[in-house]
């Protein structure tokens, strides 16, 4: 949901604690300059994501950034050693691309749900829901990042919970649409009577 929280969390934990040890090819993630840049980008995204309409523009821009960040975070967390590909045959043959690809797919899926839900939230609340939804998303990103790094087995439960939540939201929307359609049909029948 947020491109920079997982990377910043991983970098900070690697730099200031013994809880995370980054593979040699990912040590740059705990560099002070990288952490400072990630913090600035995080602040920009957090602010932009709280403002209706600006949040949609931010989501369009983040369509490339979030999956990339997800791939980087997943690749670094899974212990993939390669961040630069000099020999594509060796890279694909060693299967080091798998964690990066999995991270990209997961991040793209989560981003897709967020980008689709946000305009609905904004329209349904006249824009007042944007800061609330964004704050919930940020808190979820922090919690999800910490769980993924500190208790990786719980990530499966987290993803299952997220999938159940998305299913619940979709079913609820469909039910509300059916209810509105039924109400309109009743009103139309009553006005013809």
Segment 45-56, tens digit of pLDDT: 899 888 888 887
Q: Mean per-residue pLDDT for 30-56?
A: 89
C-alpha dihedral over 161, 163, 168, 169, to 10 degrees?
120
Confidence category of residue 35, pLDDT binned at 50, 70, 90: very high
Is the pLDDT at 34 greater than 90, yes or no?
yes
Segment 138-192, tens digit of pLDDT: 898 888 888 877 777 777 787 788 789 888 988 999 999 999 999 988 888 888 8
Pull the structure tokens for residue 79. 């212990």
Residue-range domain boundaries for the chain: 4-150, 156-193
Segment 62-91, tens digit of pLDDT: 887 888 777 777 766 655 444 444 555 665
Q: Which residue has the higher pLDDT, 40 or 141?
A: 40
CA–CA dist 175, 72 (Å, integer): 38
81 DSSP 8-state letter: -
pTM: 0.64
Confidence category of residue 95, pLDDT binned at 50, 70, 90: low
């Amino acid at each position: 949901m947020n491109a920079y929280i997982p990377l910043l969390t991983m970098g900070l934990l690697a730099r200031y604690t013994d809880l995370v040890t980054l593979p040699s090819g990912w040590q740059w993630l705990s560099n002070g300059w990288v952490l400072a840049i990630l913090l600035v980008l995080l602040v920009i995204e957090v602010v932009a994501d709280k403002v209706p309409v600006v949040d949609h523009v931010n989501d369009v821009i983040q369509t490339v950034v979030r999956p990339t960040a997800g791939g980087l975070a997943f690749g670094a967390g899974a212990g993939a050693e390669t961040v630069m590909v000099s020999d594509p045959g060796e890279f694909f043959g060693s299967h080091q691309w798998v964690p990066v690809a999995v991270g990209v797919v997961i991040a793209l899926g989560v981003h897709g749900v967020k980008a689709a839900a946000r305009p609905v939230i904004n329209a349904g609340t006249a824009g007042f829901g944007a800061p609330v939804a964004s704050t919930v998303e940020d808190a979820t990103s922090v919690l999800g990042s910490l769980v993924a790094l500190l208790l990786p087995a719980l990530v499966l439960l987290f993803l299952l919970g997220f999938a159940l939540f998305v299913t619940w939201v979709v079913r609820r929307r469909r039910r509300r649409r059916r209810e509105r359609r039924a109400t309109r049909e009743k009103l139309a029948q009553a006005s013809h009577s």
